Amino acid sequence: MKLQELIAKRVEVWEAAKNFVETHQKENGTLSAEDNEAYEKMEAEITDLTSAIDRARRAEEREAEMAKPVNTPLTTKPQMAEITEEKTGRASDEYRKAMLNALRTNFRQVSNVLQEGVDSDGGYLVPDEYDKRLIDVLDEENIMRGLATKITTSGEHKINIAATKPAAAWIEEGEQLTFGDATFDQKMMDAHKLHVAIKVTEELLYDNAFGLENYIITQFGKALANAEEDAFLNGDGEGKPTGIFHATKGGEKAVTTSSASAITADEIIDLVYKLKRPYRKKASFIMNDSTLPGLRKLKDNNGQYLWQPSLVAGEPDRLFGYPLHTSAFAPEIKGGKPAVSFGDYKYYNIGDRGSRSFTTLRELFAGNGMIGYVAKERVDGLLILPEAVQILYMKGTSSSSGS
């Protein structure tokens, strides 16, 4: 089934689910055990279709990328052809080919050209093309990289934040001016080291038919993206980024539910309006995938469902009119813990320090015919303006603990 057909099918199932609830619910808004079981089957189908939509979208993006021409078509006369600037350093084809050869030979054959990209730990910086493709994987697999502000750092990075602002005042003609002092706070970003290791059999490594390049980029990219997203959401800032759900350094605690296991429509609406209006213009929700089914039944005071499925490929679902993003790393519903964030995540800064690098584990797996590779990066993340993100907590007693 094609992507748009899956989207249309999900809308159809959702409309059927809404109609089922409205025609089967009792006066107090509940369903019988039998009807609730039937509704949950519809919910499960909606969830399965959502997963299928995500897979189909990624497949279409890959097909579009693969369909791009390998060579640039000739569009000018030979005598008028433009002279293109030769790529050098890590952007050159020579560097990329040397890296692939080094990977395939377990770094036994290292071309002199790779010396241009030796990092401080003795590894080799990945070619610019690899680095770009790794970033593409991180952006695709990591919702925070698509929502946050990304900066490149060269070490510890200071960010100045306006703590107080000068106020305007009315004065009479000829009166003396009054001056207010603007004060500034500072946020510090570091560069925490993240690494991921994979193993490849020697048979695959030396088989030229095996797409080693794409395999390594994909495996490293997904693993790094998952670790990053977990830290960007839940990190405690100790040797890793600080997450938006951190109790003291993340978003502001705005709403606490009346139940330890369920969220009401009024609580979602309260969360939205706890966020100051300027931030609401570009705000969106983040929650765990498992939290969403319980929110699909919620209605506002006009009887309209808060959740609205996307009708267009590439557009996120919406909750109370705002984009909704789900992540397997966002906190699940649990008493005393954060469950939903709502805010403008451009105020979350992701600091990338330099380029990613590859190293090899020469001896660790030598006895079983495996070759180990390690990819490393340095990155930090920090919400520089906590009021830009509001957090909904579940009722309980442990909300003061870390993340």
pLDDT in tens, the chain (403 residues): 788 889 999 999 999 998 998 888 887 778 899 998 999 899 899 988 988 888 888 777 766 665 655 454 545 555 544 545 566 667 777 777 877 777 777 676 676 666 655 555 556 777 777 777 788 888 877 899 999 999 887 766 666 666 556 667 677 777 776 666 666 666 777 788 888 888 888 788 777 777 877 888 888 888 899 999 999 999 999 999 999 999 999 999 999 999 999 999 999 999 999 999 999 999 999 999 999 988 998 988 888 899 999 888 778 899 999 999 999 999 999 999 999 999 999 999 998 887 788 877 766 665 677 778 888 888 999 999 999 999 999 998 754 444 4
d(CA 306, CA 383): 27
Full 3-state SS string of 237-298: CCCCCECCCCCCCCCEEEEECCCCCCCCHHHHHHHHHHCCHHHHCCCEEEEEHHHHHHHCCC
Rg (CA), the chain: 26
Query: 217: closest CA among 155, 134, 277?
Result: 134
With beta carbons less than 8 A apart as the criterion, state whether 275 and 342 touch. yes
- What was the pLDDT predicted at 365? 61
d(CA 276, CA 390): 9
Query: 148: closest CA among 37, 41, 28, 232?
Result: 232
- What was the pLDDT predicted at 160? 62
Collect all residues with Cβ–Cβ distance below 8 Å to 18 and sequence separation of at least 6. 305
Determine if the pTM surpasses 0.85. Answer: no
User: Concatenated DSSP letters for 312-376?
Assistant: STTPPPEETTEEEEEETTSPPP-TTSEEEEEE-GGGEEEEEEEEEEEEEESSTTGGGTEEEEEEE
Question: Tens of pLDDT along 199-235?
Answer: 888 788 777 777 877 888 888 888 899 999 999 999 9
d(CA 117, CA 120): 10
With beta carbons less than 8 A apart as the criterion, state whether 381 and 242 touch. yes
- What was the pLDDT predicted at 60? 77
CATH 3.90.1690.10 fits 122-162+183-403, yes or no: yes
- What was the pLDDT predicted at 121? 59
- What was the pLDDT predicted at 67? 61
d(CA 316, CA 337): 25
For the chain, domain boundaries: 1-66, 122-162+183-403
CA-based angle 201:204:205, to the nearest 5? 85
Q: List helix spans (H) across 25-80.
A: 33-66
- The encoded tokens of residue 240 equal 């890793």
Phi-psi category of residue 354: left, alpha or beta, with phi > 0 → left and psi -120 to 50 → alpha: left
User: Concatenated DSSP letters for 33-45?
Assistant: HHHHHHHHHHHHH
72 CB-side CA count, 13 A: 5
- What was the pLDDT predicted at 138? 83
Instruction: Decide the pairing of beta strands 338-343 and 284-288.
Output: antiparallel
SS3 of 301, please?
coil
- What was the pLDDT predicted at 401? 42
Q: List helix spans (H) across 75-162.
A: 93-104, 128-141, 143-147
